[in-house]
Structure 1
Amino acid sequence: MVRNNKRKTDRKGITISAAQKALSYIKSGKSIRKAAEAFKIPFESLWRAIKKKEGQISKNVYPKTCSSRQIFNDSEELMLVDYLLVTSHIGFPVNCRTLRSMAYQQALRNEKSFPTSWTEHELAGKDWVAGFLKRHHSVSIRTPEATSMARATAFNKTNVKVFYSKLQDLYARNNLTPDRIFNLDETGLTTSQKPQKVIAESVTKQVAQLVSHECGQTVTMYGFVNAIGNALPPCMVFPQKNFKNYMIHGAPPGTLGIAYPSGWMTAATFLECLKHFVRFVHCSKDNIVLLLLDNHESHVSLEAIDFCRENGIVLLSFPPHCTHKLQTLDKTVFGPFKRLYHRAANDWMYNNPGKRMSIYDVAGLVRKAYPKSFTSSNIVSGFHCTGISPFDFRRIFFSVIRQRST
């Protein structure tokens, strides 16, 4: 198959005026070939136009004058598609080179006729892969997400069923409405931005872009969202011993700033975040809220649990290594937020040439990215696609069954 075909002749198609003149000429008793020669029209184009007019062939069907040869028949290609889908579902997707090797081996084993270039490299051609993907839209070239063995094995029917049964029990016991269902999670914000795609000289093999640091400092940010699409002001943990108010200069209004030497979340800093959460939610024992979170060690301290009991916060943790499938913020919010954050950091580097980004610039970058990513539509779709609100256990459970069965 040739993807970029180059015309080798100057033969052109048929125009409407030329076709009308040729048809009149044919009606006078001349043959189609004579009319084609008289008006310098390709014979096959004139023949096709006449047959269309007479209704003998469909308007969308043309005689194949030049077509690429398909190595495998339709049933054989469908079997290959099914194999590719199965391997992608179980976490071992096939790359293009492996697919080309498989196609060559299959063609060789079944004694298919294929181009000689396949034998030279013992691989199917890139043109064959392009044609294969064009014929089968259920598969395409994707960039996979690195998934550890722990995540792959922990996301199973047993863990998912236990989590959703507890969630359903809490809904019924506390009569929870969507405005009282919250999710919180943390993400790291670095002072070394991720470069964006740029326009540069096409013949240059490597294009360089300046970043602030090779390994920048990290500021931890906590996000809070609820099932009706609201987002609370974030909490930011700076890698400093003492907190100063200028650290959150330019941050979203209401942001809580905390300092800890490592910049990571600990039991003490998490307790401060819970107090920040209560100030905005106004929960109590008479107004209980549900807080969904992962089972990080900083979230399960005795002080945090006692504080939640006193203030009407019911904690429910996700199963270990399952947050990539079950957590709202991971599914639909943090991805757009990180992209917008790095875009804002990239703009900062352009507007401040010769300067290095510090942790005191992170708050201003968060203010640019936060309102555009923590939107109501992103948050609501996250709760919906995970089946948390509205409650839909089948949405995730059946996807696990399909994944394991394949």
Structure 2
Amino acid sequence: MSRNGFPIPVKYLRSLASVIACQRSSIFQAPATYETIRPPGKNWPQAFYKRHPELKPKRVKALDWNWHDQNIYEKVRHWFDVIGTELDRMDIVLENVYNMDEIGVMLSMLGSLKVLVGKDDLRAYRGAGVKRTVVTAIECISAAGRSLHPLIIWPAATQRSTWTTYPTPGWHFACSQSGYTDSRISFDWLRLVFDPQTKLRAAGKPRILICDGFGTYESLEMLRFCFENNILLYRIPSHTSYKL
């Protein structure tokens, strides 16, 4: 999965191994049994590394922005090499290749504001800056041009019916304190929006989901859901979508 842009965090390794063991055994077919099965022991990863010498644990850290910007070409080229290989697979069709993205809409103004004052008033400030209020939309479209219903994220604890003036059939709504997405909302979007609208059309074939991720989508629940439902996650390298 590291080739896809989603290297598996080591802390999830044992849990994912347990999921795979459940799927391979006819005894553990019911999802409810996952919670009763103990994952491999704490020393299991070391044995796993020995069995798979082509893999190794590696600690990654954030790059300096200037260095990242200067070396962006190689990252983008490598990503296209990886995604190109996957798109050439016989079981991958354009109707099952999707790109999701998030867009934030600023509801409040920041910075300067033109006001009417006395001609002798020399003040050029107006107190504290206005608090940012953001509404986020998660949108998704297939390579064949089919769009899914969006998910709108309100900056609140609960949604109010007065916030939607006109009918929005099929739209989905969520709330977060900041108005941005988080791991919980991302997972809800995957299982309640993306999966129901694409599963029947895929007819058992793999679905590729390309997203511009910054770590939000790396929860264990999301990785497990994708594995169980034949969804292949591909992440555009961080901070490169504006160049693509």
Q: Is 1:290 matched up with 2:208?
A: yes
Does structure 2 retain, via aligned residues, the 8 Å contact 1:285–1:311? no
Q: TM-score of the superposition, structure 1-length normalised?
A: 0.36
Residue 81 of structure 2 aligns with an amino acid whose one-letter code is S
Does structure 2 retain, via aligned residues, the 8 Å contact 1:247–1:257? no
Q: Which residue of 2 aligns with 1:299?
A: 217
Q: Is 1:149 matched up with 2:73?
A: no
Does structure 2 retain, via aligned residues, the 8 Å contact 1:285–1:312? no
Q: Which residue of 2 aligns with 1:172?
A: 88
Q: Is 1:242 matched up with 2:158?
A: yes
Q: Which residue of 2 aligns with 1:233?
A: 149
- Unaligned ranges ≥5, structure 1: 1-147, 195-212, 327-406
Does structure 1 retain, via aligned residues, the 8 Å contact 2:106–2:133? yes
**Cα gap change, 1:164/1:258 in structure 2, threshold over 3 Å: closer, same or farther?**
same
Q: Give the match's secondary structure for 1:228.
A: coil
Q: Which residue of 2 aligns with 1:312?
A: 230
Identity among equivalent positions (%) equals 22
1:212-261 per-residue CA deviation (whole Å, 9 max, x = no partner) reads x9445111111101112222111111111123454444264311100112
Partner Cα separation in structure 2 for residue 253 and residue 156 of structure 1: 41
Does structure 2 retain, via aligned residues, the 8 Å contact 1:180–1:288? yes
Q: Which residue of 2 aligns with 1:221?
A: 137
- Unaligned ranges ≥5, structure 2: 1-64, 111-128
Aligned residue among 181, 198, 203 for 1:265: 181
Q: Give the match's secondary structure for 1:307.
A: helix
Residue 153 of structure 1 aligns with an amino acid whose one-letter code is Q
Does structure 2 retain, via aligned residues, the 8 Å contact 1:174–1:288? no
**Cα gap change, 1:318/1:247 in structure 2, threshold over 3 Å: closer, same or farther?**
same
Does structure 2 retain, via aligned residues, the 8 Å contact 1:188–1:218? yes
**Cα gap change, 1:242/1:295 in structure 2, threshold over 3 Å: closer, same or farther?**
same
1:149-170 per-residue CA deviation (whole Å, 9 max, x = no partner) reads 366224223x123212221221
Partner Cα separation in structure 2 for residue 186 and residue 251 of structure 1: 22
1:108-142 per-residue CA deviation (whole Å, 9 max, x = no partner) reads xxxxxxxxxxxxxxxxxxxxxxxxxxxxxxxxxxx
**Cα gap change, 1:274/1:174 in structure 2, threshold over 3 Å: closer, same or farther?**
farther
Residue 324 of structure 1 aligns with an amino acid whose one-letter code is Y
Q: Give the match's secondary structure for 2:92.
A: coil
Does structure 1 retain, via aligned residues, the 8 Å contact 2:135–2:155? yes
1:334-369 per-residue CA deviation (whole Å, 9 max, x = no partner) reads xxxxxxxxxxxxxxxxxxxxxxxxxxxxxxxxxxxx
Q: Which residue of 2 aligns with 1:160?
A: 76
Q: Is 1:322 matched up with 2:240?
A: yes
Does structure 2 retain, via aligned residues, the 8 Å contact 1:290–1:316? yes
Partner Cα separation in structure 2 for residue 183 and residue 281 of structure 1: 12
Q: TM-score of the superposition, structure 2-length normalised?
A: 0.58
Partner Cα separation in structure 2 for residue 252 and residue 226 of structure 1: 21
Does structure 2 retain, via aligned residues, the 8 Å contact 1:248–1:257? no
Alignment of 1:5-404 (within 5 A): 149=66, 152-157=69-74, 159-173=75-89, 175-192=91-108, 214-250=130-166, 252-275=168-191, 276-282=193-199, 286-326=204-244
Partner Cα separation in structure 1 for residue 157 and residue 91 of structure 2: 43
Partner Cα separation in structure 1 for residue 105 and residue 139 of structure 2: 12
Partner Cα separation in structure 2 for residue 154 and residue 248 of structure 1: 44
Select the structure that is richer in helix.
Answer: 1
Select the structure that is richer in strand.
Answer: 2
Residue 296 of structure 1 and its aligned partner are, at CA, apart by 1.5
| Higher Cα radius of gyration | 1
